[in-house]
Amino acid sequence: MSRPLGHWLLLLALVATWGSAFMLTGIAVRAFSPAALVTVRLAIAAVLLIALVLVSGLRFPRSPRFWLFSIALAIVGTACRFG
């Protein structure tokens, strides 16, 4: 069973993306504290996701229940990570 060339190119792109992320993290850990790296990565991700929502024309949820659940999930996730 042969795969199209496009599948192999997508796999190569995935490998390059994941590999470079680990390589760059290894380099960055030598220069910055892990907490600083996590903060910067989360801030970059938040900015990109907010921009994606705005550009795509989607709306943020308005339900207080959704935001309370999201905040609780973030607190529990942070506590598990650093606890």
User: In terms of domains, do 23 and 54 share one?
Assistant: no
For residues 11 and 18, give the distance between their C-alpha atoms in angstroms, rounded to a whole number. 11
Average pLDDT over residues 14-20: 90
Q: Mean pLDDT score of the chain, rounded to an integer?
A: 89
- Range of the structural domain that residue 44 is part of: 33-83
User: In terms of domains, do 46 and 81 share one?
Assistant: yes
For residues 45 and 40, give the distance between their C-alpha atoms in angstroms, rounded to a whole number. 9
b/e map 42-57, b = 16+ CB within 10 Å: eeeeeeeeeeeeeeee
User: In terms of domains, do 49 and 81 share one?
Assistant: yes
For residues 81 and 83, give the distance between their C-alpha atoms in angstroms, rounded to a whole number. 6
User: In terms of domains, do 27 and 39 share one?
Assistant: no
pLDDT at 38 over 90: no
User: In terms of domains, do 61 and 78 share one?
Assistant: yes
Q: What pLDDT score was predicted for residue 70?
A: 93
User: In terms of domains, do 37 and 75 share one?
Assistant: yes
Between CA 63 and CA 71, with CA 69 as vertex, the angle to 5 degrees is 105
User: In terms of domains, do 40 and 22 share one?
Assistant: no
pLDDT at 64 over 70: yes
User: In terms of domains, do 24 and 43 share one?
Assistant: no
Whether the model pTM is above 0.75: no
